[in-house]
A and B are shown apart, each in its own frame.
Chain A
Amino acid sequence: MSFPSIVLHELILAIIVVLILVLLLIITVLGYSFYSYRILHNRHTWRQIIEYKIMETIVGSDGNDEQNREFSRYLKESSFRVLFLEILVDSGRKFSGAAKKAIDGLFFDFKLEDEAWRRLRQRKAYLVAGGIQELAEMNIEAAIPEIKAKLKDDRALVYQEAQYAMVTFLGYEGLEFLTHFDKPLSDWQQLRLLSSIHHIPELSDVQVYTWLKSTNDSVVIFTLRLIRKFRLMAFYPAIYALLDHVATSVRVQAIRTMQAIENSATIGQFITCFDQQPIEVKLEILKSMKVARSKESEDFLKKQLLDHPETSIKISAAEVLVVLGEEQYLREISQRTDTYDELIQIIKHALQEKKC
């Protein structure tokens, strides 16, 4: 076969066109990479300047006029202001007391509020969320109506941040949205909200009862966690009623909460409902008994150790018996000749026996 002739047909042309596009893209990406590097480099320098400024403010040593002028010059650049805001919000969370007040002062000294408002009114979810965070951190109460409106936003990032901000602003009252909230509240969000509530007003019963009856399981679970955190004894009967709830996760949280606000009837109630519960709830009951250390549960636990078909229940029961000081009883069982090998192993495991 001889050498073919060069035919620049459409396919080659198409490939060359794509190739040119790719080469142009390479140049663009390279250019943008070096531009991004510059931005990043600037941010690094700016971060040092801002952190130094915050440090100065916290320790109360005012910089000289020259430094202040330079800082004000930087502030004219919008990306510097955004970074300053970000670092301030971040720092605001790390400090409390006088240092926090000093940081809050910086927000107002440098009029960063406008920047946060601007972000709140952007369209992109992450910018809105950032704006909410900043306004909440600056404690700008004027923003509450606008942030409250964001509770109804469809985007998780926005409404979650709005929920958190409302709680930050109003504490317990900020949880009002729970009454009509129909989306699942993730564990992460629940932990965030819980961590921001430091006090429960006295007239909160009606609302808490409503939440406990919510069709949204995650709202019920959150409420149980709230009750647990503030040991709200009055809700004990309502929580006990939740042991029949269709969701196992609710029952597990109910057991945990009952234990946290236990009374003299709790162990008896645990024992009574034990057999009707799924394995996850049973294990939670045994865990609660371990914490409760009530002698009332001793016979029940011995029965579970000997008769329950599930190994995990036997192990938990044995561990609770150890906590109740029944080591001797357990040793006796393990030494009996008719005790089967698995039970002996379980008892040894519970006793944390050292092997020689």
Chain B
Amino acid sequence: MLEFSHIVYEIVVWLFLLYSAALFIIYTWIGLYAYGGVFRYKHKNAFTDYGIIATNPNAPTFSLIAPAYNEGMTIIENVRSLLSLYYHNLEIIIVNDGSKDDSMQKLIAAYELEPTSFFVQGNIETKAIRGIYKSKNPAFKKLIVVDKENGGKADALNVGVNISAGDYIVCIDVDCILEQDAILKLAKPFLEQTDKRVIACGGVIRLANNCNVVNGSVRDVNLPKSWLGRTQALEYIRAFILGRMAWSRASGLILISGAFGAFDRQIVLACGGYDRNTVGEDMELVVRMRRYMEEQKQAYEVVNIPDPLCWTEVPESKEVLRKQRNRWMRGTMETLWKHRKLMFNPRYGRFGMISMPYWFFFEFLGPIVEFTGYIVFVIFFILGIINWPFFLALFALVIASGILYSIYAILIDLVSHQVYTRKRELSTLIATAVLEPLYFHPIVVKAGVQGVVDYFRKQHGWGEMTRQGFQQKEVNESVWTYIGKRLISALRGIGPVMLVFFVLYMLSIGIEWWWYGRRFAQLAEAGAGKYLLVDNLLFAFQVLGCVGIGYLLLQFLSSFWARILSVLSLSAIVVIQFILFLYFGESRNLLGADMFYYSSEEMKQILEASGMLNFTNIALLLLLIVIAWVPLWMANKQTFKKVYVGIACLSLGFVSCFISSASILGNASAKDEFVANASRSKWRYFFESNLSDYVEERPGMLAALYQDDVDPKVLDSKFPFLKAEDTKDFLGAYLKKTAKAPNLVILVIEGLGHAYSSENGYIGNFTPFIGTLKKQSLYWDNNISSSGRTFSVLPTLTGSLPFAVHGFLEQDTLPDHFNLFNILKHNGFNTGFFYGGHSNFDFMKKFMDYNQIDKLIDQDAFGPPYKKLPEKGGESWGYEDQAVFSKLLEVQKVQENPYFHVLLTLSTHNPFLINNTAHYEQLFEQRIASAELSPTQKKWALENRAQLVSVLNLDDAMEQFFKEYKKRPDFANTIFVITGDHAMPEIPLQSKIDRYHVPLLIYSPLLKEPKTFHNFVSHFDVAPSLLAYYRENFAIKTPRQVTWIGHGLDKGALAKGEGIGMMQSKNQLNDFVRGNYHLSEGQLYRLDGRLDEDIASDDAKEELSKHFELFKRKNKLFYTQKRLLPDSVYANYFGSLKKD
């Protein structure tokens, strides 16, 4: 549940972050692009002489349409203002929209009107016209007054369009005050059109509130008196000077204000005029005109010019403002809904792909997202999960960005010589910009959200929608009916696909079980099949639920893509299921997110070396893809008549989310890890592994959600692993004193598990030489490695280092730290690393480069007569162990200086191919025939023959190595550490701890006596003890402060310390050992004296979980900071050493 909360938290925070980032980027673009647009226009028109068209008979004709409703108080003055406009070819059409006041009477009297016969040519459907009036007085010959029945603004405008005779129409609100040269300036873009037809043009609208208006003309410009008015003045500057100019320049403008805009009459008529059923008729018309032009495939432009041409009164009461914004929001929604087909439709070019999505995501969703943000903030606040520094930083950024945008708009307004040019106005506008986010913005957001609510509550418009023009084929239906119909259709459509997927997936499970049956007899005995079936059944239902819901949602955007994606994802799930179970069958390991931590090179090498990348397998994979794809694709073409199958699948998916296979059948053998893993749904594991990995990778964001039951004082330090070096010299007592520091050689054996390298292991001893060596060494039979793979063995063994996220070596840059290589090198040792494969694998080379070792011997350093391991699929892992051992003897000459080398073998790696197989097969047979093995051990051994044959080869190679080494004079003064990096996952593990149970030997001719230790130790303890030995006996300088996780071989994992974590793979820090308890994937085990384990009662679980959590927190603190120790500690150590 906590993980689910993490994901929800993460998704919410990231969605807001991404939205904010997108908004930030878009507004930055708008700001910069608008700047260019405004100044280009200003420069271009600096010396424009508009007089050339004012009285020119060749200039186009404009019809100015002003609808009026109950404007009797001001209409005479307003019309007089319009009649004085400076343009010759102009007709002025006043449409009285059934006013209830005396508007008509006043007009008739004032302008000497008389009813005239008039044939209306336009064919847009409108309410009835009562009469058309013209003036007897030639002075008013431009004036036409239409008296019509009330039908709303859009209807009145349509009447005007029908009557108009001009090339272009200019639609205005009758109460607007136009600049004298407004038509001249609007006409210019139309006259300048060449290859692109200008279909609409708008100008800047300014606020007339508090301005001094004389005879229908603005004489003295002032800012409104109220803050509400001033904020709108600022808002208009931002909208017209920045927003519309940027979109105009980018050919993406879809809104020309209803208060003032000019349109190409021919296109308006072709589109059917204004939509009478929307409250956002201005935006809707532009969208429809653009849509028409796109569908006609004609080049066109919608232009905005930055000249202030029109003055309007804005509401200065909150109530009226709310109503206005509510209406704007509903208008936006109606337009977006009506033209939803355009959204992300490449057929409509940047109009469909950019403009419409911009309006949807930022103009429509903006207030909703902001409102949701407030709600989420309150919820997070109540839950106490707000990351305050993050919140405050982001909040400050959002507010500051808003202020910057506003101030920038004011600046552009100022320098482009707009209207507010006085110092007082500048200061007031800047103050308004600072106050706006706190005062004005909440009102607008609330009104916008209320608009959304009203839109749905009132079913606005869609119930009785009648359409005109080229879009009349749109279906008239309510949004709920539409949603219902789409859902039903989707449920019918997805049914066959879901059924086919279910069959294919369950078929794959059958094949999986059959495949295991051929290879692992013990699974049938353990009854793993039923667990496998139930777990996969539940997983299949969950997939159906998730993909089904995804499909239902996506099909609202695009049915086609929803179908494609559902078929793609379901067939991919089937194919990947095969890959996952085959991988498990081959490696006996579950595949999780760790696969993503191998580079493509490494992955290629793994696949090639394991022989998977061959023609047959690739052909089989392609065949599998076809088999999975074809039935699903065919099913995708089918539809059920009823929705029942769809609903049933979704319901099962929903229900299955609350059921676990354990709740039905109980756990599969929790003790036997192999059986437990084989019984699991491989897909579920893969999915969950990736999910938890995703969560794990984002430590900062999730910091707020982690349980704080760990003592915060422990994490007070910035360097949680830093401590004083107090490791005791444990080894000194067992080794003879010498004058010269002995050489150190660490032999790390790939996959050398305890189970098959000890007579006490459940498979028995298949390393006779190592067995002999144990008896001459200090030997720890209860030693554990730090990981289930090779990736962590070097940093753990040589540096007792923490894991970071995916292993210490996976970090982009290795942080400063101490380890055997750099400490011994600085004490005069020669250092080296010997490996038969590519040293880049698992970033080992990076580690060696960091340590500046003297000899890096990997695959490239070998050549004849050294032999490579046999190839599989044309690729070999590298050189055999015999070669690597011999290479060390060849490269390392006898010398005065001491040396420290690490040698890593690889013959015992999957696919276990070795040279001279027959010889080791024979040795294997002899081993099986010997009386040393019990019948059970023999049975195990025969089942894992190839692996054990390779182990015998390794053992033999090591024997030869020691035989040769003994001949050298430096042998006598050398200490050998021999251990495995982890147990082979390919050999079934009997318990969880078996994966890490590896032998540890310290052998040297300097040993006083051999001894076997039974205390629990780990690879973390090796480096501290070795360095303590060198420090105490050979005056070697070691750091005073270190970051060892281990406490030395004397204390081991039983130490009073924090315990040790183990990583099963690069993305799974799931195991933890402290004292004699082992916590693995939430299950507690008690370890006995032989490192066997059994499920323990939960008494100690809380304590262990707390320590494990602390370990993880410390590790996280380290990888978040990317520093392990202070620079001074590192620098002082190496500095002081140099001085010495």
Which residues of A are in contact with B by a Cβ distance under 8 Å? 1-12, 15-16, 18-19, 22-23, 25-26, 29-30, 32-34, 36-37, 40-41, 44, 86, 89-90, 93, 125-126, 129-130, 133, 157, 183-189, 191-192, 194-195, 218, 225, 311-312, 315, 345-346, 348-349, 351-356
Task: Report whether B417 and A349 are in contact in the complex, using a CB–CB cutoff of 8 Å.
Answer: no
| Residues in B whose Cβ lies below 8 Å from that of A355 | 114-117, 131
What CA separation (Å) do A201 and B959 show in the bound complex?
Answer: 114
Tell me if B117 and A312 are in contact (CB < 8 A).
no
Name the contact of A18 in the complex, choosing from B387, B397, B430 (C-beta under 8 A).
B397
Q: Does B972 contact A (CB under 8 A)?
A: no
Q: What per-residue 1/0 map shows which CB atoms of B99-136 lie under 8 Å from chain A?
A: 00000000000000011111101000000000100100
Indicate if the CB atoms of B387 and A126 lie closer than 8 Å: no
Q: Are A349 and B119 in contact (CB under 8 A)?
A: yes
B419 to chain A, nearest CB (A): 12
- Tell whether, in the assembled complex, residue B52 and residue A195 are in contact, meaning their CB atoms are under 8 Å apart: yes
Instruction: Given A18-B397, A315-B119, decide whether A7 and B414 contact each other with a Cβ distance below 8 A.
Output: no
B393 and A19 contacting across the interface, CB-CB below 8 Å: yes
Are B116 and A353 in contact (CB-based, < 8 A)? yes
Interface stretch (choices B348-356, B361-369, B701-709, B849-857): B701-709
**Which among A7, A25, A130, A195 is the interface contact of B47 at CB below 8 angstroms?**
A130
Residue in contact with B46 in the complex, picked from A9, A130, A189, A191, CB distance below 8 Å: A130
B317-325, B398-406, B532-540 - the one binding chain A: B398-406
- Contact with B387, one of A7, A187, A352 (Cβ below 8 angstroms): A7
Interface hub of A2, A40, A187, A351 (most chain B Cβ within 10 A): A187
A-B contact pairs, 18 of them (CB 8 A): A5-B715, A9-B701, A12-B390, A15-B394, A33-B410, A33-B430, A37-B423, A40-B414, A40-B415, A157-B44, A183-B194, A185-B194, A186-B194, A187-B191, A191-B58, A191-B191, A348-B119, A354-B115
Known: A5-B703, A7-B699, A29-B408. 8 other contacts (CB 8 A): A4-B703, A4-B705, A7-B700, A9-B703, A15-B397, A157-B43, A184-B195, A355-B115
Report the bound CA distance from A341 to B942 in whole Å: 106
| B414: chain A residues within 8 A (beta carbon) | 33, 36-37, 40
Residues of the B chain whose Cβ atoms lie less than 8 Å from the Cβ of A37:
414, 421, 423, 426
Assess the A19–B397 pair: CB atoms within 8 A.
yes
Q: Please determine whether A22 and B191 come into contact, CB atoms closer than 8 angstroms.
A: no
Q: Is the CB of A33 within 8 A of B426?
A: yes
Q: Is A186 touching B394 in the complex (CB atoms < 8 A)? A: no
Which residues of B are found within 8 Å of A157, using beta-carbon distances? 43-44
Kindly identify which residue among A7, A41, A93, A189 contacts B49, using a CB–CB cutoff of 8 Å: A93
Within the complex, what minimum Cβ distance (angstroms) separates B842 from chain A? 26
- What does DSSP make chain A's interface, helix, strand, loop or mixed? helix
The answer to whether B191 touches A188 (Cβ under 8 A) is yes
Question: For the complex, is B384 an interface residue (Cβ under 8 Å from A)?
Answer: yes
8 A Cβ contacts from B149-199 to A:
188, 191-195
Nearest-neighbor residue (CB-CB) of B411 within chain A: A33
Q: Is B506 in the interface zone, CB < 8 Å from A?
A: no
CB contacts (< 8 Å) of B404 on chain A: these are: 22, 25-26, 29
Kindly state whether residue B383 has any CB partner on chain A within 8 Å.
yes
Say how far A297's CB is from chain B's closest CB, in angstroms. 21
What separation, in Å, do the CA atoms of A41 and B422 have in the docked complex? 8
In whole Å, how far is A141's beta carbon from the nearest beta carbon of chain B?
20
Q: Please report the C-alpha to C-alpha distance between residue A1 and residue B386 in the assembled complex, in whole angstroms.
A: 11
Q: How many A-B contacts at CB < 8 Å in the complex?
A: 171
Whether A4 lies near B385 (C-beta < 8 A) is yes
Interface flag for B396 (CB, 8 Å): yes
CB distance from B366 to the nearest CB of A (A): 19
Contacts of B115 in A (CB 8 A): 354-356
In the complex the two chains form, is A6's CB within 8 Å of B389's CB? yes
List the A side residues contacting B43 at CB < 8 Å.
Answer: 125-126, 129-130, 157
| List of A residues within 8 angstroms of B195 by Cβ | 184
Q: Distance in Å from the Cβ of B231 to the closest Cβ of chain A?
A: 18
Contacting pair B389 A225 (CB below 8 A): no
**Which chain B positions have C-beta within 8 A of A346?**
119
CB-nearest residue of chain B to A32: B411
Q: Are B423 and A349 in contact (CB under 8 A)?
A: no
Q: Is B1129 an interface residue (CB 8 A)?
A: no
- Chain B residues with CB below 8 A from A129, complex form: 43-44
In the bound complex, do residue A7 and residue B703 qualify as a contact, i.e. CB atoms below 8 Å apart? yes
A23 touches B400 (CB 8 A): yes
Smallest CB separation, B89 vs chain A (Å) = 13
Q: Is the C-beta of B428 less than 8 angstroms from some C-beta in chain A?
A: no
B888 on interface, CB distance cutoff 8 Å = no
Q: Which residues of A contact B47 (CB under 8 A)?
A: 86, 89-90, 93, 130, 133
Contacting residue for B383 out of A1, A26, A133, CB 8 A = A1
Within 8 A of A (CB), among B526-572: none
Q: Which residue of A lies closest to B42 (CB)?
A: A126
Known: A33-B407, A186-B192, A191-B59. A352 touches B117 (CB 8 A): yes
Residues of B within 8 A of A18 (CB): 397
* B53 close to chain A: CB less than 8 A: yes
Chain A residues with CB below 8 A from B470, complex form: none
- B56 lies within 8 A of chain A by Cβ: yes
Q: Contacts A130-B47, A348-B117: A22 and B192 contacting too (C-beta < 8 A)?
A: no
- In the complex, B1120 has a CB within 8 A of chain A: yes
Contact present for B56 and A191 (CB under 8 Å): yes
Complexed CA–CA distance, A133 and B383 (Å): 69
Which residues of B (683-737) have their CB < 8 Å from a CB of A? 699-701, 703-706, 708, 712, 715
In the complex the two chains form, what is the Cα distance from A19 to B395 in whole Å?
10
B377 contacts A by Cβ under 8 Å: no
Return the chain B residue nearest A195 by Cβ. Answer: B52
Query: Given contacts A40-B421, A86-B46, A184-B194, is CB(A15)–CB(B56) below 8 Å?
Result: no
Tell whether B514 is near chain A: CB-to-CB under 8 Å.
no
B388 within 8 A of A: yes
- A354 CA to B131 CA, complexed, in Å: 11
Given contacts A32-B411, A126-B44, A191-B59, contact A40 B417 (CB under 8 A): yes
Interface centre among B118, B396, B411, B421 (most CB of A within 10 A): B411
Instruction: A194 to B1120: give the CA distance in the assembly, Å.
Output: 73
Contacts of B394 in A (CB 8 A): 15
B407 partner residues in chain A, CB cutoff 8 A: 26, 29-30, 33
The chain B residue with its CB closest to the CB of A193 is B52
Smallest Cβ distance from B21 to chain A, in angstroms?
Answer: 10
Within 8 Å CB of A195, what residues of B?
Answer: 52, 56
| Complex Cα–Cα for A107 and B56 (A) | 31
Contacts of B60 in A (CB 8 A): 187
Please indicate the chain A residues that have their CB under 8 angstroms from the CB of B383 in the complex.
1
A158 to B404, CA, bound (A): 35
- With a cutoff of 8 Å between Cβ atoms, the chain B residues found around residue A225 in the complex are 58
CA distance A32 to B396 in the complex (A): 23
Give complex CA distance A196, B135 in Å: 37
How near does chain A come to B906, taking the closest CB pair, in angstroms?
38
Of A6, A345, A352, the contact of B388 (CB 8 Å cutoff): A6
* A128 CA to B167 CA, complexed, in Å: 34
B residues in contact with A187, CB < 8 Å: 58, 60, 191-193
- B117, A353: Cβ atoms closer than 8 Å: yes
Question: What distance in Å separates the Cβ of A50 from its nearest Cβ neighbour in chain B?
Answer: 16
Give the residue name and chain of the B residue nearest to A4 (CB): B704
Contact of B116 with A354 in the complex, beta carbons under 8 Å:
yes
Q: Cβ of A352 and Cβ of B116 under 8 Å apart?
A: yes
Contacting pair A22 B401 (CB below 8 A): yes
| Residue from the list B121, B388, B390, B393 in contact with A312, Cβ < 8 A | B121
Specify which chain B residues have a CB less than 8 angstroms from the CB of A191 in the assembled complex.
52-53, 56, 58-59, 191
Identify the closest chain B residue to A196 (Cβ).
Answer: B52
Q: Please indicate the chain A residues that have their CB under 8 angstroms from the CB of B390 in the complex.
A: 11-12, 15
B601 to chain A, nearest CB (A): 28
Report whether B421 and A19 are in contact in the complex, using a CB–CB cutoff of 8 Å.
no
Distance from B165 Cβ to chain A, minimum over Cβ atoms (Å): 10
A185 to B712, CA, bound (A): 77
- The interface residues of chain A lying within 8 Å CB-to-CB of B191 are 186-188, 191
Docked Cα-Cα span, A11 to B698, in Å, equals: 10
Nearest 6 pairs of A and B residues by beta carbon: A9-B700, A126-B43, A349-B119, A348-B117, A4-B704, A184-B194
